[in-house]
Amino acid sequence: MKNEGEAAKRPDNTAFTQQRLPAWQPILSAGIVIPSFLLIGLAFIGIGIGLFLTSQTIQVWEMDYTGVEKDSPCFRCTILSNQNCTCEVIFSLSTLFTGPVFFYYGLSNYYQNFRKYGVSKDYYQLAGDTGYFKNPEAYCSPYAYDSKKNPIVPCGAIANSIFNDTFELYQIINGTKKQVPLDGKGISWWTDYNIKYRNPSPVNGSFAKSFDGTVKPINWPKPAYELDLTDPNNNGFLNQDFLVWMRRAALPQFRKLYRRITDGDYAAGLPAGNYSLKVHYNYPVLSFDGRKKVVFSNVSWMGGKNDFLGIAYLVVGSLCVIMSVVMLVVYAKFKFSDDDEAR
């Protein structure tokens, strides 16, 4: 219990232990703050003007086709007994709708962000793992098994409630309808289509066989392997409409990409004129007071039309400029009084 010698007990004399690490001590002096506020403000105003103008150039045409009013074209389809109902919406464009035109469908008061709804899917099924076809994830309940206890693939509420209205767009030229080609490719996330979702491997060369022993979701008219019989790359879980639907919307009022108009005569956009939109009306929304709409829009570098961002930038930018001016005034005043008092 004797002293252990001096060196052991003397604290290390390093910058760290003595809390004397070299340090940068930023001082936000008026000379820095006022110009930087001004610069930020001006930059924001610049961005804001750019955003606002861009947003203004984006064309949007949208239309509610739910058919609540009696005189609306799709009213008759809202009667439940009316199966395979189609209705036609006529509209006209006064100017060229610059392409590429994006065709969205929109739903409101529709809660894709319900928690229970959101978890009601089986990722392993959707990744093509047939091992899970027979034993769907418990969260899929009550959409895991049909009444005969057959497993449903793809299971769960999201898949079951896929939006199944379909649209055909015609340009009416001199009374004749010319179909506008709608491009269903590239409407879902690249990673969803290429990596995240996988189809099960075909059994004996037959894609359908891999679904043996399972049943289609209750609301679906046809099983997953028949979603698009024309294009095997758009079939099954890799069906783009399916993928778009599976990416849940953030808010109860949302829109999802339906098609792009990029081909043929309409690559440059939709010319002015009359159009007819033929709606295969299947999707009931009135039971929960929902609404359906179609939206045509083109996009810019900032995405779809959204005035909010431009306005926000303009407001904040102006705020910064105003504050820099106020600060300048205050600074000038106080600087002089400081000099007088020499505190």
Partner 1 sequence: GLCKKLNSIYCGGDEKRVDSRTIYVGHRPCPDTEAFIPSKFCDNRIVSSKYTVWNFLPKNLFEQFRRIANFYFLIIFLVQVIVDTPTSPVTSGLPLFFVITVTAIKQGYEDWLRHKADNEVNKYPVTVLEDGRSVKKESEKIKVGDVVEVVEDETFPCDLILLQSSREDGTCFVTTASLDGESNHKTHYTVPDTEKDLQALPATIECEQPQPDLYKFVGRMHIYKPEQEPAVRSLGPENLLLKGATLKNTKKISGVTVYTGMETKMALNYQGKSQKRSAVEKSINAFLLVYLCILISKAVVCTTLKYVWQSKEGQDEPWYNQKNQKEKDTNMYLKMFTDFLSFMVLFNFIIPVSMYVTVEMQKFLGSFFITWDKDFFDPEIQEGALVNTSDLNEELGQVEYVFTDKTGTLTQNNMEFIECCIDGFQYKHRDTRSELDGFTVTDGPVNKLQQKAGQEKEELFLRALCLCHTVQVKEAGSEEVLTDQVDGIDGMQPQPEEERGFIASSPDEIALVRGAMEYGFTFLGLESKSMKIKNRENNIEEYKLLHVLNFDPVRRRMSVIVQTKSGETLLFCKGADSSIFPRVKPEEVDRIRMHVERNATEGYRTLCVAYKQLSAEEYAVADTGLREARLALQDREQKLMAMYNQVETGMSLIGATAVEDRLQEEAAETMEALQGAGMKVWVLTGDKMETAKSTCYACRLFQRGTELLELTVRTLEDGRLKREEKLLELLRDYHRRAVQDAPPVKAGVTRSWSTANQDYGFIIDGATLSLVMNPSREADASQYRSLFLQICQNCTAVLCCRMAPLQKAQIVKMVKNSKGSPITLSIGDGANDVSMILEAHVGIGIKGKEGRQAVRNSDYNLCFILPQFLYQFFCGYSQQPLYDAAYLTMYNICFTSMPILAYSLLEQHISMEILLDNAALYREIANNAMLRWRPFLYWTVLGIFQGLLFFFGVRFLFSNPALQDNGQVFGNWSYGTIVFTVLVFTVTLKLALDTRHWTWINHFVIWGSLAFYVFFSFFWGGIIWPFLKQQRLYFVFANMLSSVSAWLVIIILILLSLLPEILLVVLRKPRGPHSRQVYLFLPFPF
Site for partner 1 in 211-230 (CB under 8 A): none
Q: Kindly tell me which of 85 and 327 has the beta carbon lying closer to partner 1.
A: 327
Q: Which three-class secondary structure state does DSSP give residue 156?
A: coil
Contacts of residue 233, defined as CB under 8 A and 6 or more positions apart, other chains included, come to none
Residue 20 engages partner 1 in binding (rule: CB under 8 A): yes
Taking the C-alpha atoms of residue 258 and residue 146, their distance in angstroms, rounded to an integer, is 29
- When asked if residue 30 is in the footprint of partner 1 (CB under 8 A), the reply is yes
Count of residues in contact with partner 1, rule CB under 8 A: 101
Examine residue 56 and tell whether it contacts partner 1 (CB under 8 A): no
Distance (Å, rounded) from C-alpha 180 to C-alpha 167? Answer: 11
SS3 state of residue 4: coil
Site for partner 1 in 128-157 (CB under 8 A): 137, 141-143, 157
User: Is position 27 an interface residue for partner 1 (rule: CB under 8 A)?
Assistant: yes
Which one among 94, 147, 175, 308 touches partner 1, defined by CB under 8 A?
A: 308
Q: Which stretch binds partner 1 (CB under 8 A): 39-47, 77-85, 165-173, 274-282?
A: 39-47
Phi, psi of 8, deg, nearest 5? -65, -35
Q: How far apart are CA 238 and CA 62, in angstroms?
A: 28
- The residue within the footprint of partner 1, chosen from 93, 119, 208, 215 (CB under 8 A), is 119
Length of the chain: 343
Compare residues 104 and 242 and give the one whose CB is closer to partner 1: 104
- Report the nearest approach of partner 1 to the CB of residue 336 (Å): 10
Q: Which stretch binds partner 1 (CB under 8 A): 79-87, 107-115, 174-182, 228-236?
A: 107-115
Nearer to partner 1, 91 or 123 (CB): 123
Contact range with partner 1 by CB under 8 A, out of 71-79, 84-92, 168-176, 311-319: 311-319
Q: How far is the CB of 222 from partner 1 (least distance, A)?
A: 18
Positions of E strands within 97-179: 97-98, 101-108, 166-173, 176-179
The answer to whether the CB of 113 falls within 8 A of the CB of 249 is: yes
Closest distance to partner 1 from the beta carbon of 340 (Å): 10
Contact 292, 279 (CB under 8 A): no
Cα–Cα dist 207/7, whole Å: 79
- Shortest spacing between CB 299 and partner 1, in angstroms: 5
Mask: binding to partner 1, 239-278, rule CB under 8 A, as x and -?
A: -----x--xxxxxxxxxxx--x------------------
Cα angle for residues 231, 233, 235 (degrees, 5° grid)? 75
Stretch that binds partner 1, among 75-83, 221-229, 271-279, 281-289 (CB under 8 A): 281-289
The phi and psi torsions of 80 (rounded to 5 degrees) equal -60, -35
In the bound state with partner 1, the residue whose beta carbon lies nearer, of 19 and 176, is 19
Query: Under the criterion CB under 8 A, does residue 189 sit at the interface with partner 1?
Result: yes
Is the Cβ–Cβ distance between 239 and 193 less than 8 Å?
no
Q: Does 287 bind partner 1 (CB under 8 A)?
A: yes
CB 107 within 8 A of CB 291: yes
| Among the listed residues 116, 148, 149, 222, the single contact to partner 1 using CB under 8 A | 116
CA distances to 85, 144, 225, 266, 307 from 284, in Å: 12, 22, 24, 31, 31
Site for partner 1 in 65-94 (CB under 8 A): none
